[in-house]
A and B are shown apart, each in its own frame.
Chain A
Amino acid sequence: DTEVTQTPKHLVMGMTNKKSLKCEQHMGHRAMYWYKQKAKKPPELMFVYSYEKLSINESVPSRFSPECPNSSLLNLHLHALQPEDSALYLCASSQSGESSGNTIYFGEGSWLTVV
């Protein structure tokens, strides 16, 4: 079983709704990530937090707002999304952001549908 826990597993939201995806890890990792994956495509990096600070934002639209309240938690706040934002959202963590050898461990993902 994965040690990165994501909730909810499935979410359906309207374009005017505000919702959040949550992610938690208890492996003592100091880097956390959000990836977006469309059907039959590889994951695409959205955000990287290193030591609870945002270190990479891959030009993600502002309707996606990440938050890292502490080293174990990572949230993704969603507001005014579009149907094309429907995808699998994967949270991941690694020991730190500072080595090419740090394995990224993923959660089971949150399936998001925007209607």
Chain B
Amino acid sequence: AQKITQTQPGMFVQEKEAVTLDCTYDTSDQSYGLFWYKQPSSGEMIFLIYQGSYDEQNATEGRYSLNFQKARKSANLVISASQLGDSAMYFCAMREGRRNTGGFKTIFGAGTRLFVKA
């Protein structure tokens, strides 16, 4: 069964420094998608970055990059130049690549709470 593991319940980072949030996954599918979301205390889930299982290049979106190591089944999120507004919960997610009764499911890891210090 598909599984997403985030082993860091909480992380601290100094403002303007880079931080890496860990994510490992387990799947038997050849085609899958990996996503990172940010959830501030307001509750909204904000999409940050996507990596496809067949993508050879690591995804980047502004200050966010995804360190994709397929053989190790890891998809770590790197946030460069941290800002106070980056303080939030971060979820790693994986989308199944095969049909499942007509719909695809996205599963989430337990999340990592990031605290950015001034």
> Quick one: given A42-B108, A100-B33, A100-B96, are A48 and B103 in contact (CB under 8 Å)?
yes
By secondary structure, the B interface counts as loop
Chain B nearest Cβ from A8, distance in angstroms? 13
Number of residue pairs spanning A and B whose beta carbons lie under 8 angstroms apart: 81
Q: Are B102 and A102 within 8 A (Cβ)?
A: no
Q: Are B103 and A104 within 8 A (Cβ)?
A: no
Q: Which residues of B contact A45 (CB under 8 A)?
A: 105-107
Q: Are A103 and B50 within 8 A (Cβ)?
A: yes
Whether B56 is near chain A, meaning CB under 8 Å from some CB there, is no
Q: Are A100 and B97 within 8 A (Cβ)?
A: yes
Contact residues of B between 48 and 100, Cβ < 8 Å to A: 50, 52-53, 91, 93, 95-97, 99-100
Chain A nearest Cβ from B110, distance in angstroms? 6
Q: Are A98 and B104 within 8 A (Cβ)?
A: yes
Q: Which residues of A contact B (CB under 8 A)?
A: 2, 31, 41-43, 45, 48, 50, 53, 55-56, 88, 90, 92, 97-109, 111
